Amino acid sequence: MNKQTVKISHKTLGLLVEESFMDSIQFKIFLQSIHGCLQSKVDLDFFNGTNFLIHIPFEILKESVIVGKAEPDSLTEKMMGKSLIETL
């Protein structure tokens, strides 16, 4: 099983988002929402309905480095459970 991770880093603000997903569909949806915000030139707003909220203004988002990657997960990470976004 692979762990997918998204990192958004800004040159002056530092690490804005670092979120890992066990569910590849959730990972794809999150990446598509980031891409859509960049293409539409709108703020990135994401709320999972319970405990995870992101608001990044477009100006900051477009200046950020965004990296998405998939890598094999370890047994420890499997035991830790799902990400905050996946808790729904």
Residue 8: left (phi > 0), alpha (psi -120 to 50), or beta?
Answer: beta
Euclidean distance between CA atoms 18 and 16, whole angstroms: 7
Task: Look at residue 82 in the predicted model and tell me its pLDDT.
Answer: 58
Task: Look at residue 50 in the predicted model and tell me its pLDDT.
Answer: 84
Task: Look at residue 7 in the predicted model and tell me its pLDDT.
Answer: 96
Which DSSP category does 78 fall into?
A: H
| Sign of CA pseudo-dihedral 36, 40, 43, 49 | negative
Furthest C-alpha separation in the chain? 39
Task: Look at residue 75 in the predicted model and tell me its pLDDT.
Answer: 59
Q: How many CA atoms lie within 13 A of 62 on its CB side?
A: 11
Q: What residue ranges do the domains of the chain occupy?
A: 2-87
- pTM exceeding the 0.85 threshold for the entire prediction: no
Task: Look at residue 42 in the predicted model and tell me its pLDDT.
Answer: 97
At residue 58, the 3 state secondary structure works out as helix
